[in-house]
Amino acid sequence: MTDWTRRDFLRTAGIAAAGVALAPRSSRAADARIDVLVGEPIGPVTADHYGHFVEHLGGVIYDGVWVGEQSRIANTGGVRQALVDHMRRLPRGPIRWPGGCFADSYDWRDGVGAAAARPRRTNFWLNDMASLPDSAGKFDPNAFGTNEFMRFCRLAGGAPYVAANLRSLPARDFYQWVEYCNAPAGSTSLAELRERGGDREPFGVRFWGVGNESWGCGGNFSPEDYAIEYRRFTAWVPRYGLQLAFIGSGPNAGDLGWTRRFFTKLTEKGEGALNGLWGWALHHYSWNASRGATTDWNAGKGDAVQFTNDEWYELLNEADRMDGLITGHWGVMGEIDRRRRVKLVVDEWGAWYKPGSEVDPTHLFGQQSTMRDALIAALTLDTFHRHADKVAMANVAQLINCLHSLFLAHEDQFVATPTFHVFEQYGAHVGGQSVRMVASAPRIAYQRVNGAGSFWGLGGSATLKDRVLTLTVVNPHTTEAREAEISIRGAAARTAKATVIAAPEIHAHNTFAEPGAVQPKEEAVAAPRDGAIVHRFAPASVTRLTVTLQ
> What is residue 509's DSSP assignment?
B
DSSP 32-65: EEEEEEEEEEEEE--GGGGBEE--SSTTSTBTTT
Total residues belonging to the chain: 550
In this structure, how many other beta carbons lie within 10 angstroms of the beta carbon of residue 296? 10
> What is residue 365's DSSP assignment?
T
Catalytic, 348? Answer yes
Q: Cα–Cα distance between 538 and 518 in angstroms, integer?
A: 14
Q: Cα–Cα distance between 412 and 156 in angstroms, integer?
A: 19
In this structure, how many other beta carbons lie within 10 angstroms of the beta carbon of residue 88? 11
- Of 179, 229, 348, 523, which is the active-site residue? 348
Contacts of 206 (CB under 8 A, 6+ apart): 159, 242, 243, 244, 245
Contacts 24+ apart (CB under 8 A), 199-206: 199/147, 199/150, 199/151, 202/240, 203/150, 203/160, 204/242, 205/150, 205/160, 205/162, 205/178, 205/181, 205/242, 206/159, 206/242, 206/243, 206/244, 206/245
Buried b / exposed e over 316-354, threshold 16 CB at 10 Å, is bbbbbebbebbebbbebbeebbeeeebbbbbbbbbbbbe
The residue among 351, 494, 462 whose CA lies nearest residue 39 is 462
Contacts of 385 (CB under 8 A, 6+ apart): 42, 45, 49, 429, 434, 461, 462, 463
Catalytic, 271? Answer no
- The CA-atom distances, in angstroms, between 365 and each of 61, 90, 104, 268, 436 are 13, 24, 19, 40, 37
DSSP 123-136: -GGGGGGTTSPP-T
- Of 213, 318, 424, 523, which is the active-site residue? 213
Kindly list the catalytic residues.
213, 348
